Copies of this chain bind each other. A is one copy, B any other.
């Protein structure tokens, strides 16, 4: 298990015990250089994952608006062959999606073997916004933790590595970032007044996230709480976790299935 994963044997945690600005005493410039190096390794490891094509990696990003879900996915994937990556942003479900169970649209977007998938939001919205905004009855969403754990356990058993990241920002840092979107004409288009609705329910969301972290941090798919007030800390932790997970696989270049020496190119 990576060093940033929540240990299932040490649950429950309290979200207030995690400082969104925590840098772990690290030096900014050194960490930035280390992240560059990690990104290079992600690029090489992804080629091996693709070449072997018997496992897949899912990077699942959750967090409040402006917590850096886009930024984190961009950071990890910039050094990777985009042909080997499948990104999915889950917004409010459309009519067809709502006509199915809540895992249906997520399941069909899972990365195939050899690929890295990046989920910007995920099935966890079904126990976050759905709970906070009372979109389904409590007795129904409460069952979802166990359903999600069973779903993810199957995915892991079938060859998916699940890396679940909670990008943890402070309410103060979000204020800065939203004001920035209002002030900067290049960022105006990112501002949505609906972001303020979720912000107004901050405490409800933190309670919902705390339950998610405690209920769905399993041995096969633990959550990683990422202090996200500082982008360089966020990027480092995500990159380090991805590299650690891929290196655990000890991938090598696959041996050819045929004897290549017999082929002569005319």
Residues of A at the B interface (CB closer than 8 Å) are: 51-52, 70, 73-74, 77-83, 85, 87, 89, 118, 120, 175, 178-179, 182, 185-186, 188-191, 193, 196, 199-200, 253-256, 258, 260-261, 263, 265-266
Number of copies: 2
Q: Is the CB of B185 within 8 A of A263?
A: no
Q: Is the CB of B189 within 8 A of A254?
A: yes
Of B87, B193, B260, which is within 8 A of A182 by CB?
A: B260
Q: Is the CB of B82 within 8 A of A256?
A: no
Q: Is the CB of A256 within 8 A of B191?
A: yes
Q: Is the CB of B256 within 8 A of A189?
A: yes
List residues of chain B with CB within 8 A of the CB of A120. Answer: 83
Q: In the bound complex, how far is the Cα of B43 from the Cα of A82, in angstroms?
A: 14
CB distance from A15 to the nearest CB of B (A): 21
List residues of chain B with CB within 8 A of the CB of A179. Answer: 265
List residues of chain B with CB within 8 A of the CB of A79. Answer: 78
List residues of chain B with CB within 8 A of the CB of A253. Answer: 185-186, 188-189
Q: Given A193-B263, A265-B196, are A188 and B254 neighbors across the interface (CB < 8 Å)? A: yes
Of B70, B188, B254, which is within 8 A of A83 by CB?
A: B70
14 further contact pairs, Cβ within 8 A, besides A51-B189, A70-B83, A188-B255: A51-B190, A82-B82, A83-B87, A179-B265, A182-B261, A182-B265, A188-B253, A188-B254, A189-B256, A191-B256, A191-B260, A193-B258, A196-B265, A199-B265
CB distance from A175 to the nearest CB of B (A): 5
Of B51, B82, B196, B200, which is within 8 A of A85 by CB?
A: B82
List residues of chain B with CB within 8 A of the CB of A189. Answer: 51-52, 253-254, 256
